[in-house]
Amino acid sequence: MALEIVLVEPEIPQNTGNIARTCAAIGAGLHLVRPLGFSVEDRYLKRAGLDYWNEVNIHYYDSFAEVKEKHPEGVFYYATTKAPNTYADIKYPQNCFLVFGKETAGLPEELLKENREYCIRIPMREGIRSLNLSNSVAVVAYEVMRQHGFENLQGKGHLTKYEW
């Protein structure tokens, strides 16, 4: 299972740190598209990621087009509040990229229009704009992992009934 998380112009260091921690937990790669709204030396970024930074395969790009060019075999899914399909409606392939936009604006409208059939959303009550970025990544990423039997993750039977 190759799951890759793409953040296009993330702005809040704590979110990116939390997402890095999720990537470490599930073995996903993290792709960061510049400009970033923070320095990679930011203490809040490092603090949110705790001591998991060495467990994450991080890639940096100057544009989203560069991500697509370097991964022509990848299937890309775009998270947006505007999608007709929910994240749970999709059967995710083995090699997929989950793409998330910046906290204040999401992904560019043109990118979403060009990839409408690959746009996904997390259902929410009417009037709620969006979930926190790091929560959104976790929700969708764990659905992909669930569909693939939590491959390479500790699952059922990890703890005996007496250990918990």
Residue 63 labeled ligand binder: no
Residue 122 labeled ligand binder: yes
Residues present in the chain in total? 164
Name the percent of the chain in helix, strand, coil, to the closest 5.
35, 20, 45
Burial class for 35, CB neighbours closer than 10 Å (0-12, 13-18, 19+): exposed
Q: Angle between the 13-26 and 133-147 helix axes, to the nearest 10 degrees?
A: 10
The DSSP secondary-structure symbol of 36 reads: P
Residue 27 labeled ligand binder: no
Rg (Cα) of the chain, in Å, rounded? 16
Contact 75, 96 (CB under 8 A): yes
Annotated binding site, which residues?
A: 101, 122, 130
Annotated binding site for S-adenosyl-L-methionine, which residues?
A: 101, 122, 130
